[in-house]
Structure 1
Amino acid sequence: MTGEPHDQRRASSGKSAALLAYEAGDEAAPTLLAAALEAEPYDGAMLIAHAASLLRTGEPQPFDHMESVLARSPDWVDGHKALARLKAEAQIGNPLATLEAALQKLPKHPGLWMAYLTLLGSAGRHAEAAERTARLRKEIADLPELRLVEARHRGFAGEIEAAQRLLADLPSHLPELGFERARCAMRLGDFARASELIEVVVGKDPDDIGAWALAELCWRATDNPRHQWLCPNDELFSQRDLDLSKADLAKLADCLRALHVTGSAPLGQSVKGGTQTHGNLRLREDPAIAHLFERIDKALNEYARSLPKLDTSHPLASLTTKTPKISASWSILLHSGGRHVPHLHDGGRISSAAHIAIPDDMKAGEGALELGLPPEDIPMELGPLARFTPKPGHLVLFPSFVYHSTSRFGDGERLTVAFDAA
């Protein structure tokens, strides 16, 4: 007889059920994960999900077990990254403390250092990340890869000339070098040079949404005819009625509010003055959420069918011949004065904002979804390509290669659901 041993199959089944329960928001998820971890105590995915599920259910010490595992296995890079992000959202202590302790034990571990530098950047501490990288270059090795990392952080910290010097003599084979040089040129206002560089990047990797986003900005700033090719008409930016009743929206809003249990937004996300839910929202077993995504699927299919005829090399071309599928979804709750800074989702071809609830007395222009404003590190005098007033029960769809943000609003809350699709 061939195949997995019985105990192994049972453990695998228990793991799958536990992770599915976590993704679906099942109240039994912490118990199921704890039981599955007895069979596989060092399974990374389950350890992370267990800590997140304990946080979600209000456990007073949700990270104790994960911290003990990391103390025994300080080289578990993914665990350190996940714990730091969870602790930042929970506003519990120093999010990077466990990772910093690991670096004391393993001071030359490249994976730990890259995780640490990335998390510093996600926390907006780019100047510190750049200085740490410069120190690594002196103390360990002056590697081209480290120069590239330092240049990236110098650029975000506003040290643009220093970034340019670091990028100047790097070997051309380095991944992301062309992208970083293009972004640096944009920061210096040389959009013609940036256009040349970014066209090479998208030519080599047509799936690079971040590169297409820089191309959109460069081509618009220089009146390049390719911008008309990339954004041929307003049909790429669409607001659609999801046909949800007031009762539907009320139930949905109550359900979503209950999921916003963290104290802060995730590290590195665009949310300023609000929170974001964990996991894939559409997997949750709640009738109100299921009903919402039935409406979203219909609107998404209609959007794809309404797209104009696109050249096969266009980043949205594949959507004209297939049914788009949602790859990730979440909810955002912004509080008084909250907003999203200009950002991208590179996990799909289509991005979105379904507005569920807005303040009753929101003034004209407040809380608007603005498409096409450049990111804060690139000074450009460009207005939005499109601006949408939020309407409860309406969905805005747009290409993922367009930066998007929201304007501030006064008192109240702005509750949305977002997703990526491809």
Structure 2
Amino acid sequence: MSVDGWLRTDRAATLPPLDAQALAHAALAERREPEVIAAINASARRHDDPVVWHLLGLLHRTQGDLAPALAAFDAAFRLTPAQPLLLHARARATLEAGLDARDRYDAARTVAQNDGDVILGQAAALAEAGDDRAADDLLVAMLRAHPGWLPGHQGLMRMRYAAGAAWQEEIDRAITGAPLDWRLHDLKLSAWLRIGQAEAALSALAAAPDVAELAAIRAAITSEFGPAAAAERQMATLSPRTDPLHRLHVLRHHLRRGRPEEVVALSHPAPTADDLPYLSLAYRLLDDPRAAALDDPAAISVVDLPLTPTFLTGVATLLRRLHRARRQPLDQSVRAGTQTGDMLLWRVDPEIAELRGHVRRAVDRYAAQARARAAPLPVPRHPRVVGSWSVRLLRDGHHDAHVHPEGWLSSALYIALPPSDGEQGWLTLGEPQRALATGLAPLRTIEPRVGRLVLFPSHTWHATRPFTQGERLTVAFDVA
């Protein structure tokens, strides 16, 4: 039964446990959690059922409300203290709330010794508590025992890269032990491609096995860094209409080679979220009137939030404590700066909780305005923050142009800024990566101000111009 079906029944106000469980599962599947939380909460309190408490915690977690989520998980734990899924959910929510989750991950490991997600969470909890060595040792031990564990390699690579360490050491060890495992090569090649190290990427490509599974990454690296003729031959072997990864690489290649009409042909008649950033550029290059819908100026919102200097100083102090990395993330757009984890606005710190309230109100207003003007892209029924983080840039810091295809709405919220100097540090919207060779200029540049929130569609190319002195501290989030 759908959420609507359950809410229309006479039992909606006094749901027995099995009905509450069914309604909660329906709400999670339909992304309608806010509509059922009150009913599930009432059922949990009336019947004290551990599964209903567990589901109530999951419902709150999807909304980023970690305090009530943890209370619900604790209530379920009181009744079923050895349930593996509950132990993991409780540990994960504790970590996301910004609390010390080491003991809770220890408990989860006792019933899930080899669960990869639990192990990665335990490593993250150790790192968040400042014990980087223990986090590294944990992942290395598991990778030595299971050298084909790709998420473990990816987690260790990211951790070491951000720490300024030799991030490729363990993946190289695994490749030496299994030189024909194309998955390991693909992981390493993708990292070099994202970092933008042409010589290292081409060298690693030469050492990789010549197998069909590496055709996409081979073509992408050759298109980005290698000879044009070879890139044309390799791109011609891909299947962009049926393989999303192939499609992305081919779209980029067509733009780089000056063929925007091919981007339009490949994207139509039903563009995917991954297509939209490239389709927008193709429309602009072709002077296609359909560009106006994807690049609607009305879809960009600039709001100066009512945040006091004292409050902003407190937020900045908290954020600086969270910026413990020594280098930008392995797979993000940050340059000459650092980035926190991606659940920042879920933390339970009072400053973050207050900031989250401002963000939610701004997003709700934006969504209402988008519905009122019949925006071409569908507005989520219940928009929610699906990722949030802070970026700290110092001298020469900037963001390379990028997009967020998994979101509906993206953002920049300025907490602290360097001294104003022309357009240094300004946000650019609509200017793509230089590697795409489109020659397109920004559609809009926006001056940052402390307390200013900029909202824009997630498919919009955005970047930050470098600045020569000071600190730029921001919060960013995606909504879907």
**Same topology, TM > 0.5:** yes
TM-score normalised by length of structure 1: 0.88
Distance 1:280 1:109 in 2: 33
Distance 2:242 2:272 in 1: 18
**2:472 equivalent to 1:409:** no
Trace 1:53-68 onto structure 2 (pairs within 5 A): 53-59=125-131, 61-62=133-134, 63-68=136-141
Give the conservation status (yes or no) of the 8 Å contact 2:171–2:188. yes
1:121-152 Cα distance to aligned partner (Å, 9 max, x none): 223235544554455454xx3x2x42222111
Structure-1 residue corresponding to 2:387: 328
Partner amino acid for 1:340? H
Partner amino acid for 1:349? W
1:211-250 Cα distance to aligned partner (Å, 9 max, x none): 1001111111221011123234x21111112211111111
Structure-1 residue corresponding to 2:258: 189
Structure-2 residue corresponding to 1:363: 421
Describe the SS at the equivalent of 1:377. helix
Matching residue within 198, 201, 218 for 1:150: 218
1:280-330 Cα distance to aligned partner (Å, 9 max, x none): 01111101001011001111111122226347xx3x2234xx342111101
Distance 2:177 2:440 in 1: 48
Partner amino acid for 1:45? D
Unpaired runs of 5+ residues, structure 1, are none
Q: Give, in angstroms, the shift of residue 58 of structure 1.
A: 2.4
Partner amino acid for 1:381? G
Matching residue within 178, 181, 185 for 1:106: 178
Give the conservation status (yes or no) of the 8 Å contact 1:341–1:406. yes
Change (3 A) 1:91 1:174: same
Matching residue within 436, 441, 446 for 1:388: 446
Partner amino acid for 1:293? R
Structure-2 residue corresponding to 1:375: 433
Partner amino acid for 1:353? A
Trace 1:125-204 onto structure 2 (pairs within 5 A): 125-133=197-205, 135-138=207-210, 141=211, 143=212, 145-157=213-225, 159-171=227-239, 173-197=242-266, 199-200=267-268, 203-204=269-270
Change (3 A) 1:334 1:107: same
Partner amino acid for 1:365? E
Distance 2:406 2:214 in 1: 26
Distance 1:288 1:11 in 2: 33
Change (3 A) 1:8 1:35: closer
Give the conservation status (yes or no) of the 8 Å contact 1:277–1:331. yes
Partner amino acid for 1:250? T
Structure-1 residue corresponding to 2:143: 70
Q: Give, in angstroms, the shift of residue 24 of structure 1.
A: 1.3
Distance 1:357 1:52 in 2: 27
Partner amino acid for 1:156? E
Q: Give, in angstroms, the shift of residue 170 of structure 1.
A: 3.8
Distance 1:369 1:158 in 2: 31
Structure-1 residue corresponding to 2:313: 250
Distance 2:138 2:294 in 1: 49
Give the conservation status (yes or no) of the 8 Å contact 1:327–1:419. yes
Change (3 A) 1:346 1:269: same
Distance 2:469 2:244 in 1: 45
Change (3 A) 1:318 1:193: same
If asked which structure has higher relative contact order (CA below 8 Å, sep 6+), I would say 1
Between the aligned residues of both structures, percent identity stands at 31
Give the conservation status (yes or no) of the 8 Å contact 1:160–1:187. no
Q: Give, in angstroms, the shift of residue 178 of structure 1.
A: 3.9
Describe the SS at the equivalent of 1:61. helix
Structure-2 residue corresponding to 1:49: 121
Give the conservation status (yes or no) of the 8 Å contact 2:339–2:391. yes
1:167-197 Cα distance to aligned partner (Å, 9 max, x none): 1244564444344333212111222333323
**2:281 equivalent to 1:217:** yes
Higher fraction of helix? 2
Distance 1:393 1:166 in 2: 48
Distance 1:266 1:219 in 2: 32
Unpaired runs of 5+ residues, structure 2, are 1-49, 52-78
Once superposed, which parts of structure 1, at least 4 consecutive aligned residues long, lie more than 6 Å away? none
Distance 1:163 1:227 in 2: 28
Change (3 A) 1:365 1:82: same
**2:401 equivalent to 1:342:** yes
Q: Give, in angstroms, the shift of residue 7 of structure 1.
A: 7.6
Describe the SS at the equivalent of 2:316. helix
Give the conservation status (yes or no) of the 8 Å contact 1:103–1:113. yes
Give the conservation status (yes or no) of the 8 Å contact 1:23–1:280. yes
Structure-2 residue corresponding to 1:22: 95
Partner amino acid for 2:301? S
**Of 31-40 and 62-71, the range deviating more from structure 2:** 31-40
Give the conservation status (yes or no) of the 8 Å contact 1:281–1:329. yes
Partner amino acid for 2:314? K
Q: Which has the larger radius of gyration?
A: 2
Distance 2:132 2:181 in 1: 32
Pairwise CA RMSD of aligned residues?
A: 2.3
Matching residue within 158, 163, 166 for 1:90: 163
Distance 1:243 1:342 in 2: 29
Give the conservation status (yes or no) of the 8 Å contact 1:333–1:413. yes
Describe the SS at the equivalent of 1:333. strand
Distance 1:15 1:56 in 2: 17
